[in-house]
Amino acid sequence: MEAAPPQGAITLAQALDRAVAFHRAGRAEEAADLCRSILQVRPEQAETRCLLGTIAFGQGVTETSDEHKTRGIKPGP
C-alpha cells in the first residue's frame, strides 16, 4: 500500500499543468522554476524538458533551449 502524499503536495501532472499555465500567462520565471523543481525529482520527464526549452528559447537562451529540447525528445536506451 502506498503512503498518502503530504498534505498540500501536488502530483507531477498537476505541477506540469501549473508550469504550462504560468508560461501561458507570461510568468516565464515561475514556469521555469517549477520545471526545474520537477526535473530534480524526475530528470527524464520529457514534457517538462521541452517546456523548459521553450521558455529558454523565449528568453533568448538558445543554447539552453536546444539542450532541453534535445534531451526531451531523445529516445531512451
User: Is the model's pLDDT at 14 over the cut of 90?
Assistant: yes
Closest C-alpha among 47, 46, 48, 66 to residue 56? 66
Establish if 3 belongs to a structural domain: no
Establish if 30 belongs to a structural domain: yes
CATH number at residue 55: 1.25.40.10
Quick one: pLDDT at residue 60?
A: 85
Q: What is the DSSP letter of 26?
A: T
Provide the residue range defining the domain that includes 24. 12-73
Establish if 2 belongs to a structural domain: no
CA distance 5 to 57: 34
| Overall pTM > 0.75 | no
Report the number of distinct structural domains present in the chain. 1
Establish if 4 belongs to a structural domain: no
CA distance 43 to 12: 12
Establish if 19 belongs to a structural domain: yes
CA distance 59 to 56: 5
Q: Identify the residue with better confidence: 8 or 68.
A: 8
User: Is the model's pLDDT at 73 over the cut of 70?
Assistant: no
CA distance 27 to 29: 6
Establish if 6 belongs to a structural domain: no
